[in-house]
Amino acid sequence: MGKVAFVFPGQGSQYVGMGRSLYEGSPAARAIFDAADEALGERLSRLIFEGPEEELKLTRNTQPAILTVSMAMHAALVARGERADLLAGHSLGEYTALVAAGALCFADAVRAVRARGSFMQEAVPQGVGAMAAVLRLEAQTIRALCAEAAQGQVCVPANYNSPEQTVIAGNAEAVDRAREKLTAAGARRVLPLPVSAPFHCSLMEPVKPRMRAVLEGLRIAALAVPVVSNVEAVPNADSGRVVELLVEQVTSPVRWVESVRAMVAAGVGRFVEVGPGKVLTGLIKQTDKSVEVTALDEAEALQKLLG
């Protein structure tokens, strides 16, 4: 089977009620939810379990909510003696991976991603930016057509999710122009995404100095397990590089395809998606069909975890 990697989801995997059975069935998981409430000075756990959905979908709430549920699952896994050889997370999920690696303390990370979500919401006025998922078109073609569509604005690939899916981001008008070009070039579909900001592109530049100020105020400990960064798509075990990689991540594309391939090349034969939903499970299967992938959010998997 080879090595095991735990992978942590990013924004878009949230739903009202996520993690409730963990809270009720695992003392280790419950402690994480309680710690999040204490760190933020509010009942984040109530919002996660009860909604309303519109409030949970706000980026400033979504980011700490997904981090909390993912870490609650991780705590339940660790309580059962499960361990990973490598860690990675998609965008926001990289923060979760760093908590799991011991580099960031959980309370610091919850407050940091709350700030990250707020900064991202504030960076670009509503309606100015957009994102869209491009299905079944080569990344090279997508890059070229985005550059054509930009016309002095921003339009770039933001997430290289799988060989079958790339997400683009930028100014709303430029993304619209790109959607037409990509469809004409043979993309199976180009789907607008319901996001509050155009993540992982240069429109997020104002977020970087604000995020750096937050992160430089935190204690970054040694990594017990290497974390594959979104920016470089290679395992990093150097705590001195964590802040720089997280700051660069704000405007850099998420290199998920390369990250998965790097983990497989390092000997990973089993991936466990630790967190809500099973988005990463699907992307990993599209990238490499030879590996075993488990999504812990499925009821059966959770029951096994809690049993």
pLDDT in tens, 267-286: 999 999 999 999 999 999 99
Please give the pLDDT value at position 304.
74
Residue type, 137: L
Residue partners of 283: CB distance under 8 A and separation at least 6: 161, 162, 165, 256, 260
Q: What is the pLDDT of residues 78-98, one digit of tens each?
A: 998 999 999 999 999 999 999
Please give the pLDDT value at position 303.
75
Which of 13, 90, 200, 252 does the annotation list as catalytic? 200
Residue type, 168: I
Q: What is the pLDDT of residues 190-234, one digit of tens each?
A: 999 988 899 999 999 999 999 999 999 999 999 999 999 999 999
Q: What is the pLDDT of residues 67-80, one digit of tens each?
A: 999 999 999 999 98
Query: Measured between alpha carbons, how far is residue 37 from residues 47, 94, 128 in Å?
Result: 10, 21, 33
Quick one: pLDDT band at residue 143, thresholds 50, 70, 90?
Answer: very high
Residue type, 107: A
Q: Is the pTM of this model over 0.85?
A: yes
Please give the pLDDT value at position 293.
95
3-state secondary structure of 133: strand
Please give the pLDDT value at position 299.
63
Please give the pLDDT value at position 194.
85
Q: Which residues pair with 133 in a beta bridge?
A: 167, 191
Helices (H) and strands (E) in the chain, counts: 14, 10
- The one-character DSSP state at 132 is E
Please give the pLDDT value at position 307.
66
Please give the pLDDT value at position 306.
67
Q: Rounded to an integer, what distance in angstroms lies between the CA atom of residue 128 and that of residue 155?
A: 12
What are the boundaries of each domain within the chain? 3-123+203-306, 129-195
Q: Rounded to an integer, what distance in angstroms lies between the CA atom of residue 195 and that of residue 198?
A: 7
Pair 190, 183: CB distance under 8 Å: yes
Q: Rounded to an integer, what distance in angstroms lies between the CA atom of residue 197 and that of residue 121?
A: 6
Q: Is 91 a catalytic residue?
A: yes
Please give the pLDDT value at position 140.
97
Q: Rounded to an integer, what distance in angstroms lies between the CA atom of residue 152 and that of residue 141?
A: 19
Q: Is 200 a catalytic residue?
A: yes
Residue type, 77: L
- Bridge pairing between strands 235-236 and 227-228: antiparallel
303 is written with which tokens?
């029951």
Say if residue 305's pLDDT is above 80.
no
Mean pLDDT of all residues in the chain? 95
- Bridge pairing between strands 155-162 and 165-171: antiparallel
Say if residue 155's pLDDT is above 80.
yes
Which of 13, 26, 45, 91 does the annotation list as catalytic? 91
CATH of 3-123+203-306 among 3.30.1280.10, 3.40.50.300, 3.40.366.10, 3.40.50.620: 3.40.366.10
137 is written with which tokens?
């078109």
State what percent of residues in the chain have pLDDT above 90: 92
CATH number of 129-195: 3.30.70.250
Q: Rounded to an integer, what distance in angstroms lies between the CA atom of residue 301 and that of residue 54?
A: 28
Q: Rounded to an integer, what distance in angstroms lies between the CA atom of residue 236 and that of residue 303?
A: 33
Q: Rounded to an integer, what distance in angstroms lies between the CA atom of residue 88 and that of residue 68?
A: 16
93 is written with which tokens?
């999920």
Please give the pLDDT value at position 286.
97
90 is written with which tokens?
């998609």
- Bridge pairing between strands 165-171 and 129-135: antiparallel
